Structure 1
């Protein structure tokens, strides 16, 4: 067992014990998807912060074993990249963030949205992909890369998973929208490479609906864009 696999195992044990206590002592229901998403996020943050010596993971669209991206990566020529992120706040609702950038890293547009919905984490993560793809259709893009730090959603999109759950129905809606493009690529990245979308997703202090950004984003997201630009160039 490698270093990263050992850390995943240990974090999983911690997360399962923590949520087991919620069930027994707080009599609260626990969403298994949320538990695994939490494990994924913690391990990604540890790896991104340099706490893991073994660098095993995906690099951009190729997801090549043994390589780790050093930051946000530009899309191929003639493509735009749409980064997405979602957050679920208990008792508040769901917030999502979307940012679209071209092959030079220039911001084309972004979306921040808050909704008073009691969605599970995996539903929120696939819904933000839908929002990003739908906006790309509206703006007339033809070749897109959609990038998320939720591996389960990216794998489901790549496999063209189907079913009758709300998650699967949202996937079907995304696949239908994809007929409008000449080319679509799905990309998984670590959370620390998805900072702009993450900033937009958490930019709304309360549930206020939808805000669209063009060219220039809010300051906290612009700081993340500027940081990415230093890595790109």
Structure 2
């Protein structure tokens, strides 16, 4: 049976690349991939603010998200409503930047996005991610 709904994942790293925390969130609704990636950025920023981070670098493999944030584009569809929320939240940080990364460099967040069935919910981990994400973490360590 095919999965329904959408899941997003986010990972926070320190300057040396060590994972500090990660999150996974799922909804029953289905979204376009660019909207899901924008929501992942928003969820990650909200958690970073809750945890008191002041300087952040957002990495995404979705060029549409990075370009919209770089250009501070405004629109009225769902995608741009999420982008506008991200830009509003960005003012809470002393330093913020948006960086495009290849999808292979985003494997841990991708693994977290697929952790649990598509039911409404959110999970946050500190220091140690769930065992089901370990393969992605190990592969990711080889890239750093």
TM-score, length-scaled by structure 1: 0.58
Higher relative contact order (CA 8 A, sep 6+): 2
Return closer, same or farther for 1:228/1:122 CA change in 2, 3 Å cut-off.
Answer: closer
Cα deviation, 1:11-30, whole Å, max 9, x if unaligned, reads xxxxxxxxxxxxxxxxxxxx
Question: SS of the counterpart of 1:95?
Answer: strand
Question: SS of the counterpart of 2:25?
Answer: strand
1:212-223 maps to which residues of 2 (within 5 A)? 212-223=124-135
Equivalent residues of 1:216, 1:222 under 8 A apart = no
Aligned CA RMSD, in angstroms, stands at: 1.6
- Tell me, in whole angstroms, the C-alpha distance in 1 between the residues paired with 2:117 and 2:80: 30
1:226 aligns with 2:121: no
Return closer, same or farther for 1:208/1:162 CA change in 2, 3 Å cut-off.
Answer: closer
Point out the more displaced range, 91-100 or 221-230: 221-230
Unaligned runs of 5+ in 1: 1-89
Equivalent residues of 1:133, 1:177 under 8 A apart = yes
Detail structure 1 runs of 4+ shifted over 3 Å in the superposition.
none
The alignment covers a number of residue pairs equal to 143
Question: SS of the counterpart of 1:117?
Answer: coil
Q: Which has the larger radius of gyration?
A: 1
Unaligned runs of 5+ in 2: none
Candidates 80, 101, 123, aligned match of 2:35: 123
Match of 1:55 in 2: none
- Tell me, in whole angstroms, the C-alpha distance in 2 between the residues paired with 1:221 and 1:211: 13
